[in-house]
Amino acid sequence: PTLKPSPKIPSTPVVSSRTPPQKADSISEIKYTPQPQSQSQAPEEIVSRVVPVRIINMEDEDGRRPLQYAIKAGRYDNIQMLILEGAEISEDVIREVSKNHDKESIVAIIAYRDGMKKKEHTIATQEFNKKPKKGIQYLNNIGFENTESVAKFLYSTPGVSKRKLGEFLGEPDAESIKILEAYIEQFEFTGLSLDKALRLFLSKFWLPGEAQKIDRFMESFSKWFCKNNPGLFNNTDTAYVLAFSIIMLNTDAHNPAIKKENKMSLDQFLVNANRIPGIEQLPKTYLEEIYQSIVTDEIHIESEKSVFCNIEKKGWLTKQGGRIKTWKTRWFLLSGNVLYYFKQPTDTEPLGMIPLENVNVRPITQRKKFCFELFVVHNAEETIKLPPNKHATMKGAKYQGSGLVQGHHENYVLSAESKDSMEQWISSIKNNIFHNPVADLLKKRSGLGMASLG
């Protein structure tokens, strides 16, 4: 079936998702030219053409939409087409259609449409992660026809690359700037302190390193924060400068290269903050709470120094040595079924890596609190509870000189800062463990240990 809008209905109406559905003068006059079809026709066999969803869901002066007229007229072929093209569905609509038609067929069409929509969103995400401009064009082609709908997709869709998102939103062209403004408006900062809003903001994308791009991000953030919290600051410049002060405090407080006695104190932070024009209207307690929040809980900023993609978890852990059982604090990243550890978060080269192949993880009791260990699983189909010090050699490796050197760990013992942190690390590591079926078969047949296979 095809759908031909009446000349009285604009073919390309501009409708914002923030405004009520657009009214049409005579939507009941929409003319249909149905093709002969069987009511039992499979959804994938239904021929439909792309019609903008904004037209499909337009209302006439009586508040009715094309789907309601098709149901009233008993036009099953047009009902199918309208559903496939994006007509809004409710339980009442399903009940009404089911009076004269097979409910299972309607439900199947809805399921098919939703499946196609999910597939389109997956393709759009993949295209954006390869080339953002191409991804935006694909979104436009599948119905994301205005800036706000594109921004909402980028904000809420899982799998969108933070790095590609930061690169795209930081570009100086008109399209990127418009989408950046609409993207920032997806955040709800009302009632949040500036540091909490900043923490939320910086968690969603990779922050580019160029000063001009950072300036655009922070300028847009400050304006939207002030709009969400009217009266807190006299002008957006105050919020802008204080936000940068918070980022500087965050770097100072959590850089292990800065000795404790040299880190910024509360008094120093207050002195610096009080130099910001317009800051005098804020109560002292507001700034004190910001200081305590940042010092006790680091804001993790995705910056250009992050070379590992799809980081699932990161943070400080204390690691026990292999041969010499000393404890050293290291920065750990969990990415791509591998646990990497660094001397500092800013390092681009790890000190070592632990592939999570055929291993298991469990909490253990040590003199040091909140310890857990990684150890080799002898049978991938079982969780073997091995006694202490009974392990095969793991596949861990260290970076020395120009390459990797096989480590000598029978297990890895790590310590977290709290019980909650330990449990979170154990859960994340379990989700990233993978099993090598070939290695399992070889071990079953020959009794080879992991050292022999690695």
Instruction: Give 322-369 pLDDT, tens digit per residue.
Output: 677 899 999 999 987 789 899 988 787 788 888 887 789 999 998 899
Burial of 64 (0-12, 13-18, 19+ CB in 10 A): middle
CA distance 306 to 387: 38
294 and 194 in contact (C-beta within 8 Å)? no
> What is the widest separation between alpha-carbon atoms in the chain?
84
Residue 301 pLDDT grade (very low, low, confident, very high; cuts 50, 70, 90):
confident
* Angle between helix 66-73 and 76-84 (nearest 10): 160
Q: What angle do CA 165, 169, 172 make, to 5 degrees?
A: 145
Residue 400 pLDDT grade (very low, low, confident, very high; cuts 50, 70, 90):
low
Burial of 272 (0-12, 13-18, 19+ CB in 10 A): middle
C-alpha dihedral, 109 to 113 to 114 to 115, nearest 10°: 100
List pLDDT tens digits, range 20-76: 333 333 333 333 333 334 444 443 333 333 444 556 677 777 777 787 777 777 776
Residue among 275, 195, 283, 198 nearest 232 (CA): 283
E strand intervals along 27-102: 31-33, 59-60
CA distance 159 to 181: 21
- Compute the average pLDDT of residues 239-245: 91
User: What is the pLDDT, as a whole number, of residue 399?
Assistant: 67
User: What is the pLDDT, as a whole number, of residue 405?
Assistant: 66
Pairing relation of β-strands 31-33 and 397-400? Answer: unpaired
Q: Which one is predicted more confidently, 254 or 287?
A: 287
Q: What's the pTM?
A: 0.51
- Name the 3-class secondary structure at 311: strand
**Distance of alpha carbon 442 from the chain centroid:** 39
Q: Which two tokens stand for residue 59?
A: 């209302």
Output 210-219 pairs: Cβ under 8 A, ≥24 positions apart.
Answer: 210/170, 212/172, 213/170, 213/171, 214/170, 216/170, 216/172, 216/177, 216/180, 217/169, 217/170, 217/180, 218/243, 218/244
- Name the 3-class secondary structure at 38: coil
- Compute the average pLDDT of residues 102-107: 68
Residue 186 pLDDT grade (very low, low, confident, very high; cuts 50, 70, 90):
very high
User: At residue 305, does pLDDT exceed 50?
Assistant: no
User: At residue 158, does pLDDT exceed 90?
Assistant: no
User: What is the pLDDT, as a whole number, of residue 4?
Assistant: 34
The dihedrals phi and psi of 343, each to the nearest 5 degrees, come to -75, -40
365 and 348 in contact (C-beta within 8 Å)? no
CA distance 166 to 304: 10
User: What is the pLDDT, as a whole number, of residue 267?
Assistant: 94
First to last CA, the chain: 61
351 and 343 in contact (C-beta within 8 Å)? yes
- Compute the average pLDDT of residues 123-132: 92
H or E stretch at 92? helix 91-98
User: At residue 197, does pLDDT exceed 80?
Assistant: yes
293 and 253 in contact (C-beta within 8 Å)? no
How does the average pLDDT of the chain come out, rounded?
76
CA distance 57 to 180: 28
Q: What's the residue count for the chain? A: 454
Residues 6+ apart with CB under 8 A from 310: 335, 336
User: What is the pLDDT, as a whole number, of residue 9?
Assistant: 30
**At 180, which amino acid appears?**
L
- Name the 3-class secondary structure at 94: helix
**Percent share of the chain, pLDDT over 90:** 36
Q: Is the dihedral of CA 40, 44, 46, 52 positive or negative?
A: positive
Q: Which two tokens stand for residue 398?
A: 């260290």
**Distance of alpha carbon 349 from the chain centroid:** 25
Residues 6+ apart with CB under 8 A from 220: 180, 181, 184
Catalytic residues: 210
CA distance 319 to 329: 6
**Distance of alpha carbon 431 from the chain centroid:** 17
